[in-house]
């Protein structure tokens, strides 16, 4: 029996199936002096603090005493034996008729359970208070926040207290392959605490180590991405038309040049009727300047007439579009969807690696909608998956550098969206730098927050039952409104909510930057002409 108790926790650590409701029936057959020794061994065994439903049958001559451990309360009194009933073997009857497995969990009489968490707004915030039901560093506290409210109300309902352990450095922590860990996961793995909570999802990768409560509340995970910037003015000259239109114009230009060259009858002055002469004449027509194209036969006249009509229509269309574009400058395409995020290749940052725990085993394959998408994916890694790209772009900045990185507005940063629509952001997001970002229009993923416990914590079912009542009564939404109003910057919330609004475009006077595209073309032409001039000078000199 004692060997079974010794292996009880080890067996649960290896088990895939776990249940917090267990009933122990221990029968002690010996009636000599070893009986008292066995009772003391059971009483002092640490496993008894994990099993409230324990019935010990002790033989006393012709009767049997049915004992249990008190379990509730703290200190030595919680491990005291209590007599439940006596069974008279001669009469085959119980003397008192009491319940052999009484409910000890409905009133824990101040019993202390150990919980791990950390300060994370608006989930858990520590408030020092003389009459608090949380002990931390030998001082009395109460907990505020959505999870803090749940922990506090649980203690009020079941008459218990919490002994809090905080690891603000490692936060959620990690579980390593060698069976060790840090943060709240590490404290739970080492059984320094019984329970852990604090804006943490139900991750598959950690399920084999712990027991998980029923879902507490919905949480969406998305990103604040850099706001789209104005398209550089030098690009506007080329972005007025799409690539396909430019391709058609190029093909049309070359085709017309060749046709006019072929249709033009040879003249005595071949130098003025050569292909380059025709080429530049057609180019002059495309930029809406006067050109003396040859029209000395019917095919040429028809071709030149159609060319003039074509260039007038296309040229005026181009002029109208560029005027309207300069009046209301366009912005670069925003990063709105998860696909946009993966395709952009932008870096993502977060305070902890737990932001990506839910994507570790994701098998979401990219949708190859265009040949350009396929080329993009193949340039990264053959057949790479969408979420794997996002995972590879995610990094956790060194402590203390996250705020400086956010102020630059060059990377995406992880945030959570709460049930009531508020955004969970860190203190490094303020009213100034939030204007550099825009929230994505769809979540990266969503999950349900949960609490974690050791596989033998007896209060797991009670906690799940109690939290389900609070969830079903929609109290979490009410608490969210209160906590966000108390602890979070209202202007930041408003800025995030309206970050997808289109900025108001105002008419502006033309600047030098707005003709940078035309200057670029002029500069290229000047450089090319200078190079050709130098080449001709060298050729004629030799």
pLDDT in tens, 294-321: 767 677 777 777 777 887 788 787 888 7
pLDDT bucket at 504, cuts 50 / 70 / 90: low
Domain presence at residue 504 = no
**Alpha-carbon dihedral sign for residues 349, 350, 352, 355:** negative
Q: Are residues 76 and 165 in the same domain?
A: no
CA dist., res. 531 & res. 285, Å (int): 25
157 with 236: CB under 8 angstroms?
Answer: no
Domain presence at residue 129 = yes
More confident residue, 203 or 299: 203
| Tens-place pLDDT, residues 133-161 | 788 888 888 899 999 999 999 999 999 99
CATH number at 192 reads 3.40.190.10
Tokens describing residue 212? 């998980």
Alpha-carbon radius of gyration of the chain: 38
Determine the structural domain holding residue 414 and report its residue range: 332-449+474-497
Domain presence at residue 99 = no
Q: Are residues 86 and 156 in the same domain?
A: no
Domain presence at residue 503 = no
Q: Which residues have CB under 8 Å from 237's CB, separation 6+?
A: 322, 517, 518, 520, 521
N-to-C CA span, the chain:
109
Domain presence at residue 465 = no
Q: Are residues 338 and 394 in the same domain?
A: yes
The structural domain count of the chain equals 4
Q: Are residues 427 and 336 in the same domain?
A: yes
Domain presence at residue 183 = yes
Q: Which residues have CB under 8 Å from 373's CB, separation 6+?
A: 343, 366, 367
Domain presence at residue 393 = yes
| Tens-place pLDDT, residues 343-359 | 888 999 998 888 888 87
Among the three residues 166, 181, 216, which one is the final residue of a domain in this structure? 216
Which pLDDT belongs to residue 360?
A: 73
Residue 71 neighbours by CB distance under 10 Å: 23
Q: What angle do CA 134, 138, 143 make, to 5 degrees?
A: 25
Q: Are residues 30 and 61 in the same domain?
A: yes
Q: Are residues 319 and 247 in the same domain?
A: yes
Among the three residues 166, 187, 216, which one is the final residue of a domain in this structure? 216
pLDDT bucket at 464, cuts 50 / 70 / 90: very high
Instruction: Map tokens 């025709």 to a residue.
Output: 278
- Of 38-47, 241-250, 277-286, 355-364, highest mean pLDDT: 38-47
Which pLDDT belongs to residue 364?
A: 58
Question: Among 60, 51, 63, 61, which residue's Cα sits nearest to residue 25?
Answer: 51
Q: Are residues 479 and 536 in the same domain?
A: no
Bond into 122 cis (ω within 30):
yes
- The pTM assigned to this predicted structure is 0.76
pLDDT bucket at 235, cuts 50 / 70 / 90: confident
Q: Are residues 240 and 289 in the same domain?
A: yes
pLDDT bucket at 382, cuts 50 / 70 / 90: very low
Domain presence at residue 466 = no
Among the three residues 28, 59, 94, which one is the final residue of a domain in this structure? 94
- Of 12-21, 345-354, 380-389, highest mean pLDDT: 345-354
Weakest-pLDDT range from 34-48, 300-314, 334-348: 300-314
Q: Are residues 414 and 485 in the same domain?
A: yes
Q: Are residues 365 and 485 in the same domain?
A: yes
Q: Which residues have CB under 8 Å from 74's CB, separation 6+?
A: 110, 111, 112
Pairing mode, if any, of strands 54-60 and 24-28? parallel
CA dist., res. 135 & res. 116, Å (int): 12
Q: Are residues 404 and 537 in the same domain?
A: no
477 with 420: CB under 8 angstroms?
Answer: yes
Q: Are residues 483 and 351 in the same domain?
A: yes
DSSP string covering 57-94: EEEETTEEEEEEE--SSSGGGGG-EEEEEEEETTTTEE
């Amino acid at each position: 029996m004692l060997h079974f108790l010794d292996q009880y926790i080890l067996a649960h650590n290896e088990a895939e199936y776990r249940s917090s409701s267990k009933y122990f029936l221990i029968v002690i057959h010996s009636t000599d002096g070893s009986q008292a020794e066995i009772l003391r061994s059971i009483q002092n065994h640490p496993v008894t603090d994990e099993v409230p439903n324990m019935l010990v049958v002790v033989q006393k001559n012709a009767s049997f005493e049915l004992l249990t451990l008190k379990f509730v309360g703290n200190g030595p009194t919680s491990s005291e034996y209590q007599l439940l009933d006596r069974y008279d073997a001669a009469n085959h009857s119980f003397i008192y008729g009491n319940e052999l497995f009484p409910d000890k969990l409905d009133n824990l009489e101040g019993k202390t359970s150990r919980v791990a968490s950390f300060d994370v707004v608006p989930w858990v915030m520590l408030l020092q208070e003389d009459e608090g039901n949380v002990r931390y560093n030998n001082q009395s506290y109460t907990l505020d926040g959505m999870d803090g409210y749940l922990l506090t109300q649980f203690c009020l309902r079941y008459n218990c207290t919490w002994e809090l352990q905080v690891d603000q450095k490692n936060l959620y922590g990690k579980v390593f392959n060698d069976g060790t860990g840090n943060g709240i996961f590490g404290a739970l793995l080492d059984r320094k605490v019984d329970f852990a909570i604090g804006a943490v999802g139900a991750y598959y990768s950690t399920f084999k180590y712990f027991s998980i409560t029923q879902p507490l509340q919905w949480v969406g995970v998305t990103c604040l991405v850099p706001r789209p910037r104005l398209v550089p003015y030098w690009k506007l000259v080329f972005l007025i038309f799409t690539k396909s239109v430019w391709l058609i114009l190029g093909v049309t230009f070359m085709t017309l040049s060749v046709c006019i060259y072929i249709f033009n009858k040879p003249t005595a002055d071949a130098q003025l009727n050569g292909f380059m002469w025709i080429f530049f004449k057609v180019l002059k027509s495309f930029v809406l300047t006067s050109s003396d194209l040859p029209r000395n036969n019917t095919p040429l006249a028809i071709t030149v007439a159609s060319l003039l009509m074509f260039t007038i229509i296309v040229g005026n269309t181009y002029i109208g579009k560029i005027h309207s574009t300069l009046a209301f400058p366009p912005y670069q395409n925003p990063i709105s969807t998860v696909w946009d995020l993966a395709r952009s290749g932008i870096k993502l940052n977060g305070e902890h690696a737990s932001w990506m725990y839910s994507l570790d085993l994701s098998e979401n394959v990219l949708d190859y909608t265009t040949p350009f998408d396929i080329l993009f994916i193949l340039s990264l890694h053959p057949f790479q998956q969408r979420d794997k790209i996002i995972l590879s772009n995610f990094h956790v900045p060194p402590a203390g550098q996250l705020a400086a990185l956010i102020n630059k507005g060059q990377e995406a940063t992880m945030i959570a969206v709460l049930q009531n629509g508020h955004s969970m952001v860190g203190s490094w997001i303020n009213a100034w730098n939030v204007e550099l970002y825009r929230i994505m229009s769809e979540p990266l993923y969503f999950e349900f927050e949960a609490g974690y416990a050791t596989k033998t914590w007896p209060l797991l079912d009670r906690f799940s039952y109690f939290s389900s009542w609070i969830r079903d009564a929609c109290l979490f939404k009410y608490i969210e409104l209160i906590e966000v109003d108390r602890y979070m910057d209202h202007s930041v919330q408003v800025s995030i909510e309206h970050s997808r609004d289109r900025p108001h475009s105002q008419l502006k006077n033309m600047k030098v930057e707005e003709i940078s595209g035309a200057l670029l073309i002029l500069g290229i032409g000047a450089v090319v002409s200078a190079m050709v001039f130098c080449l001709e000078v060298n050729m004629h000199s030799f």
